[in-house]
Amino acid sequence: MGLVRTLLPLPRAAARLAPQLGGPLLGAALMRCLTPRWVLLRPPSPTRRLAEAEEAVAVYRALVEAASPRPQHRGLLARALAQHAGALLLFGRYEEALTALDASQAVPDARRPPGLRASVPHLRAQAQFELGRLDEALDSARDSVAAYRALLPVPGERAPARLSGALRTYALVLGALGRTEESVAVYEEGAGVLRAMSLLTTGSVPVVRARVLSELTSGLRHLGRYEEALTVGREAREATGSALVWTLPDTVRPLRVRLLLDLARCHAATGDLLTARTTVGEAVTEARALADRDRAAGEQWLIATLGLLADVLGELEEEDEELGIRQELVNLCAAQAAEDPRVHGPRLAEHLEWLADCHRAAGDLRSAVDVTERSVAAYRRAAEYEPAAYEPELARVLANLSLRRSNDGDGEGAVSAAREAVALTRRLAESDWQAYHPLTGHRLHVLGRALRRSGAHTAAVACYEESESILDDAREGDAEATRHASSLAAARSGLAVALEEAARSHLSAGRFAEAVADLRSLLALTGRTDRTDVHAGCVTAFAEARAEHGEPLVRAWTRTTGEDFPTFVYRRPASSDL
């Protein structure tokens, strides 16, 4: 191929001097350049391949339109148009590729060999897949696979190699349609075809082999077949080795990065965290090398690999190293978000959340608050572009911010963030009551906590009471009853503390009527829950109130309720109550 390309000026000159004699020679040379047989030499650049395909189309079109065209020229024009479509696919010009394939099919009286009849639907499937026309792509891929299977007994055809590529496209489309089990079965067939091929034939499709094995590993992982994925993955690692990476770095290195990510996830899923860490570390190294060549594509993989590395480090409880990786991720995402906030801002917000969690786990509350505030700001910007997608996330992170501000001693800031989270969740509930009304109860719990810690006892009691009411209703009528029951119990515990503190505050100020109302509410709460902490808190509140305020409190209780001030009989709680 390299020699033919070097000698191309000779047939070009012949074609100019004698088109009917030199044209076929030039066309044959161009087609030879477009159909390489081995991969040891670097392939031509996409730009050169497209130029040669366009030239081949022009040569054969001129021969077909000549006064007395030869019959074989029509078939060669159809082949050249198919090669042109394949070159257009490399540039993402999918609609143009489909147009070229239609033109190939429309060449009148063209002799189309079986290989061409199989390759055209394969190329069509690839273009349709990239355009998102998955149902059409599925039909085209199925036709291509059937046509290549029919070629297997034909001598001289490279049908097994081409069949493996068609099977890979078919499996890819099935996977995109969510038919993962069928996709994996087709990948396994493709891998079987490749394993049965000779070394010489396999050498003509090394990228197909790398893709099939890597994508099969991914599919097996998604199905939870981790041991099988690890077995295939070892073969895929060999298929994406350093020699092929050196030959086709921009094509193969992303495959290798994704493969290493899948293998690391499989090791983690099977409990082998140390091997997972080593494997994802290799993926990070490959992703950094890719980013050095192509920043835009490489950084996407670098973010994915660093994210998994941070997760594994977290599982291994290597907190300092995890924190460093999370910070690097935030720096990468921040740089991308500065260039295109609409696309990259949400991911920055997500990684800021993870970084804040690391600071909180390390006990650095101030840094946790600062980073969470940055996450809120990033989600706020994202919600301006896509409210439906990111307003729920904004409300959630605002609630987290309230909790962290409260733990850091910023009572006013905690209340402000919680109020915004509640207001936003109430607004979301107007359009989706079933999803967001229970969340309103959760967020009111957070607001009640912030108000209680800031000393706004009456407002805190009101928040807890509304939270209890909402969550009690949600527990009765929602499929997630267990989760709501747990939140309801927490809301009642918070309400008990808020009522006790409110009563104490009123008593200290001499507001006996208000204190009695709080104590009555606390007593009534014990009838709605079996939680030991609520009952114990009630007993303690009544005992301390009477001990400190005596007869004035008893008279206020009797005057308000018409009943004697309650006394309690202690019992040792059963273990089930604890």
Question: Contact at 8 Å (CB) between 476 and 469?
Answer: no
**pLDDT tens figures, 344-354:** 999 999 999 99
What whole-number distance in Å separates Cα of residue 94 and Cα of residue 41? 27
Angle at CA of residue 268, ends 265 and 269, nearest 5° = 85
70-90, pLDDT tens digit by residue? 778 888 889 899 999 999 999
**Beta-carbon count within 10 A of 152 CB:** 11
Residue-level pLDDT at 7: 61
Q: How confident is the model at residue 27 (pLDDT cuts 50, 70, 90)?
A: confident
Q: Which pLDDT score is estimated for 578?
A: 40
Looking at residue 43, its pLDDT comes to 62
Within a 10 A sphere around the Cβ of 382, how many other Cβ atoms?
26
**Which is more confidently placed, 55 or 510?**
510
Is 212:190 a contact under the CB 8 Å cutoff?
A: yes
Which of 34-43, 115-124, 142-151 has the least mean pLDDT? 34-43
For residue 277, give both structure tokens. Answer: 């860490």
Residue 548: what are its φ and ψ, rounded to 5°? -90, -30
Q: Is residue 536 predicted with pLDDT exceeding 80?
A: yes
pLDDT at 178 over 90: yes
Q: How many CB atoms lie within 10 A of CB 39?
A: 17
Q: What is the dihedral of CA 331, 368, 492, 533, to 10 degrees?
A: 130
Q: How far is CA 570 from CA 9, 185, 521, in A?
A: 104, 67, 20
What value does the mean pLDDT of the chain take?
89
Average pLDDT over residues 3-12: 64
Alpha-carbon distance 406 to 452, whole Å?
A: 10
Q: Are 503 and 545 in contact (CB under 8 A)?
A: yes
Between residues 202 and 217, which one has the greater pLDDT? 217
Query: CA angle 220-281-315, nearest 5°?
Result: 75
289 contacts 297 by C-beta, under 8 angstroms: no
Average pLDDT over residues 24-47: 68
pTM over 0.85: no
Residues 6 or more apart in contact with residue 569 via CB below 8 angstroms: none
Q: Buried b / exposed e across 517-539, counting CB within 10 Å, b at 16+? A: bbbbbbbebbeebebeebbebbb
Separation between Cα atoms, residue 210 and residue 67, nearest integer Å? 47
State pLDDT tens for residues 232-260.
999 999 999 888 888 788 889 999 999 99
Lowest mean pLDDT among 115-129, 149-163, 562-576: 562-576
With tokens 């089930």, the residue in question is 576
Half-sphere exposure of 353 (CA within 13 A, CB side): 16
Question: Residue 173 and residue 369: Cα distance in Å, rounded?
Answer: 45
Rg of the chain taking only CA atoms, in angstroms:
35
Secondary structure, 3-state, 46-57? HHHHHHHHHHHH
Residue 320 predicted with pLDDT over 50: yes
- In contact, 5 and 55? CB cutoff 8 Å: no
> Environment class of residue 514 by beta-carbon count within 10 Å: exposed (0-12), middle (13-18) or buried (19+)?
middle
Buried (b) or exposed (e) across 252-266, using 16+ Cβ within 10 A? bbbbbbbbbbbbbbb
What is the Cα–Cα distance from 109 to 69, expressed in whole angstroms?
A: 12
CA distance 468 to 461: 10
**pLDDT at residue 478 in the model:** 55
